[in-house]
Structure 1
Amino acid sequence: MIILGLILLLIGLLASINILTIIGGVLLVVGLVLNLVPIGGTRRRVF
């Protein structure tokens, strides 16, 4: 999802298409959040 967002963001910026830039930015942010935030109760336990 991060790669797709980055590709769409670059295409949107180079071709100056606003909707692709917006969609790419949203996908990039959502992909980064999903990667960094543990979902489903998975916790890293250190003993």
Structure 2
Amino acid sequence: MLLLSNSPDFVDSLRIGVDLAGNLTVIGGAIGIVLVFFALVRGA
């Protein structure tokens, strides 16, 4: 476990994974807001 966390490759892949997860969360949130907006516009 210590060897893994000390290896640069592991840290890089971990950072990439966190970045991707963050981007997906932001994109998903934006899509959700757009869908809610359209639902409100259609309902109004």
TM-score between both structures, scaled by the size of structure 2: 0.54
Is 1:18 aligned to 2:8, yes or no?
yes
CA distance in 2, matches of 1:19, 1:33: 21
Number of matched residues?
A: 32
Displacement of 1:20 after TM fit? Answer: 0.5
Instruction: Report percent identity of matched pairs.
Output: 3
Q: In the aligned structure 2, how far is the partner of 1:33 from the partner of 1:22?
A: 16
Question: Residue 27 of structure 1: CA displacement?
Answer: 0.1
Greater relative contact order (CA < 8 Å, ≥ 6 in sequence) = 1
Which structure dedicates a bigger proportion of its chain to helix? 2
RMSD: 2.3
TM-score by length of 1: 0.51
Q: Which runs of 4+ in 1 moved over 6 A?
A: none
Aligned to 2:27: 37
